[in-house]
Amino acid sequence: MSEMCRAALAKGIPEIGFSDHFDLIPEDPCYAFFKADAWWQDLERCREEYAGALRIKAGIEIGEPHRFPEAVSELINNHAWDFIIGSLHWVGDTLVFDQDYYLRPQQQAYRDYFQELHQVARLNTVSILGHMDIVKRYGFDHYGRFDPKPYERELRPLLRSCADSGMALEVNTSTLRRPVKEPSPNTTILRWFREEGGHWVTVGSDAHQPEDVGFELEKAIECVRSVGFETLTGFERLSPYPIPLPAKS
């Protein structure tokens, strides 16, 4: 965590949020990885070390939260989280990071994903819907570039549920580090989110290494601005608040 904090400071980033993975499917590579007590000790140590220089927010990324309501409720209630990211990595019993998932026809692969993701979007325990079209990152090698337009009938109700739940939509830049070369989601889906009543938007670099902290956040912010949003979203103890978009450089 301290390395990540130093990387943020070096890039002039005033706030960083940590959100390690909490995954409950035994076959998941991150299963049993998250140790809450040790994680919180590290976070509080960093808050003391960088007090006055860097705001540090406490988050968690919960995979498939709709499948494990009791475990999710226990984790949320036992700690002073600032934000909860809900994400989907499994469709049925198949991990979407596994290339075997993409042996099915393209439309089925994407529709199956969005159908299950809709269950996450309905939750009122989640602050942020994470990397909502991440399947395009792994489907790229099989199907080519992802076009959301053929899936508008699935995506608009999903985005409306996200808005109705008071959930923020994350603009994740990790896909800009990949051959996809666009954020997750792209501006088409962001625009639909706004049209369906979406109010809250976050940006994140999904950095698993210090060198990726803050990666292409400026591009994510310009995507948000380009579809008509005027603010980003911060979280404090699970409550969202608006942050004005920075002035154009």
The model carries a pTM of: 0.96
**Residue position matching structure tokens 């709709």:** 66
Tell me whether residue 38 is in a domain: yes
Tell me whether residue 122 is in a domain: yes
Whole-number average pLDDT of the chain: 96
Tell me whether residue 247 is in a domain: no
Closest-CA residue to 120 (of 136, 134, 105): 134
Which residues have a Cβ under 8 Å from the Cβ of 139 and sit 6 or more positions away?
102, 106, 109, 110, 146
Domain that holds residue 127: 2-242
Q: What is the 3-state secondary structure (H, E, C) of 54-107?
A: CEEEEEEEEECHHHCHHHHHHHHHCCCCCEEEEECCEECCEECCCHHHHHCCHH
How many domains does the chain fold into? 1
Q: Are 128 and 83 in contact (CB under 8 A)?
A: yes
Tell me whether residue 249 is in a domain: no
Query: Which residue positions in the chain have pLDDT lower than 70?
Result: 249
Tell me whether residue 248 is in a domain: no
CATH number of the domain residue 18 falls in: 3.20.20.140
What pLDDT does residue 129 have? 98
What pLDDT does residue 249 have? 64
Tell me whether residue 147 is in a domain: yes
Tell me whether residue 161 is in a domain: yes
What pLDDT does residue 248 have? 77
Q: Are 178 and 140 in contact (CB under 8 A)?
A: yes
What pLDDT does residue 247 have? 81
**pLDDT per residue as tens digits for the range 92-116:** 999 999 999 999 999 999 999 999 9
